[in-house]
Amino acid sequence: MSSVRVLVGTRKGAFILTSDGKRDKWEVSGPHFAGWEIYHLKGSPVDPNRIYASQSSGWFGQIIQRSDDGGKTWHQPGTPAGEPAAPGPPKSESNKFTYDTSAEAGKPLTTHQWYDGTQHPWEFKRVWHLEPSLSDAETVYAGVEDAALFRSTDGGKNWHELSGLRGHGTGPKWQPGAGGMCLHTIVLDPSNPERIFIAISAAGAFRTDDGGNSWKPINQGLYSKYLPNPKAEVGHCVHHVAMNPKRPGVLFMQKHWDVMRSDDAGDNWNKISGNLPTDFGFVIDIHAHEPETVYVVPIKSDSEHFPIEGKLQVFRSRSGGNEWEPLTKGLPQKDCYVNVLRDAMAVDSLDECGIYFGTTGGQVYVSSDAGDNWSAIVQNLPAVLSVEVQSLK
C-alpha cells in the first residue's frame, strides 16, 4: 500500500503529515524544533528515511538537522542522537557555512550590489533550500543567503561552497530581493548528473554542465521592468523554477511578475502567462505524470501579497502554459488574504497525482485528484515556509 509523507517547514517549527494513498486521513507530527524557523526540509530520493532540515534563527544562526528514520528522531550530523556530551574536540562542523575565499577559487568574490546600488559584503544568513542528491544519500546541496551554493558529501557533516557560481563574473551585479539575496531553487537533472539549475533572488537562473565547477546565467527572454536594462543578463527576481524529471530539458518559472517556460534547458525563455488574472506569484509546479500540466497560485501584486479579491485559487494549465483554468473547489473563496511562498508547493508521484501547498495562514491543502478538489490537511500551523512530499511504497 502506498503512502505519502508531507514535510512542512514553518516560522516556528517543522511538521510531518502522513497518510495512506487515499490521502483523506492524516496524522500530524510536530512541532519539531519548536520555536525555530524551518525554511526547508527534504527527503533523499535514494533513502526516503534520510531527511535533511534547515533550522535557523536570526538570533542563533544556522543549524543543519538530519533524520535517518523518516523524521521520528533528529540529530545534527556528526553529533549522534542520544550521545552524551563529553569533553574533547567538537565532532561536527555541520553548522559551518564559510564562503570560499581561497586562491584556488580563482576570483574570490567579496561584494554584491546592495539595495541602494552600492557594493556590500557577502554575509551568510541561513540555508533556504536543501536538495538531496538523486544518486547518493550522503550528498546534499544547500542554497543559502547571501546567495551561494554549498555541497556536503558526508551526510551534512561538512559543507563546501561551489564557488564557481559566485565567482563566474556577474556576482557584483546580484542584489537582494524583498526576502534577502537568497539562492532558493536547486533543480538536479536526472538525465545528466553534471547538470544543475539554480535560481537566485534577485540575480536570475544559472546552470552548470560540469557538476558545479563553472556556471552561466540562463536568463535570455526574461524581462524585468525594475532593471535599468530590463533584458539584462542578470538581476532578475526569479521566484521559483520547476522541472518534471521525465522531461528535464523543459523548465517552468514563476518570476516576480511573469510565468515563463524554456524548452532548451534554460537557454531561452518564453512568457506563458496567457489568461492568468495576475502573473505575479511565488510557486510553480508540474504534474508528476503529465509534463504539460502546470500549477501556479496567482498573487495580486508585488505590493499586495495575497490572492485577488480574497479568493484562494490555484490555476492549472494542461497545455504547458498560456491557457489556464482556476481550481477552487475546497479552497476559501472569500476573505482569504494569505500568501503561498516559493517553496510551499509540491506534487506526489502516486498514480493519481496529488498536489500540495501551504500558506502563510498556516493551512496545508491537498488535492488527490490533480487539483480538481482540495481539502485542508491542517488549518492552524505557523506560517508555512515550505512543503515537500515523499511518495512511499
Partner 1 sequence: MIRIVLPFHLRTLAQANAEITLEVAGAVTQRSVLDALETQYPMLRGTIRDQGTQQRRPFLRFFACQEDLSHDSPDAPLPEAVASGAEPFLIVGAIAGG
62 binds partner 1, rule: CB under 8 A: yes
Could you tell me which of 5, 8, 38 has the C-alpha nearest to residue 381?
8
230 binds partner 1, rule: CB under 8 A: no
The smaller minimum CB distance to partner 1, of residues 1 and 85, is found at 85
The smaller minimum CB distance to partner 1, of residues 92 and 322, is found at 92
Note the residue count of the chain. Answer: 393
The one-character DSSP state at 83 is P
111 binds partner 1, rule: CB under 8 A: no
The smaller minimum CB distance to partner 1, of residues 166 and 287, is found at 166
As a whole number of angstroms, the distance between CA 194 and CA 125 comes to: 28
Site string for partner 1, 8-47 (x = CB under 8 A): --------------------------xxx-----------
- Residue 104: Cβ within 10 Å count: 7
92 binds partner 1, rule: CB under 8 A: yes
The residues, any chain, with a CB within 8 Å of residue 194's CB and separated by 6 or more, are 208, 209, 210, 211
As a whole number of angstroms, the distance between CA 84 and CA 79 comes to: 10
Which position among 26, 45, 91, 328 is part of the footprint of partner 1 (CB under 8 A)?
Answer: 91
152 binds partner 1, rule: CB under 8 A: no
Cis previous bond, 45, omega within 30: no
Which position among 29, 49, 93, 223 is part of the footprint of partner 1 (CB under 8 A)?
Answer: 93
Q: Provide the minimum distance between the beta carbon of 107 and partner 1 in the complex, in angstroms, as a whole number.
A: 20
Could you tell me whether strands 345-347 and 355-358 are parallel, antiparallel, or unpaired per DSSP bridges? antiparallel
The smaller minimum CB distance to partner 1, of residues 67 and 224, is found at 67
As a whole number of angstroms, the distance between CA 42 and CA 29 comes to: 16
Q: How much is the CA Rg of the chain, to the nearest whole Å? A: 20
79 binds partner 1, rule: CB under 8 A: yes
The smaller minimum CB distance to partner 1, of residues 85 and 103, is found at 85
228 binds partner 1, rule: CB under 8 A: no
CB contact at 8 A, 99 and 107 = no
Name the residues that contact partner 1, by CB under 8 A.
34-36, 57-63, 76, 78-79, 85-93, 95-96, 98, 124
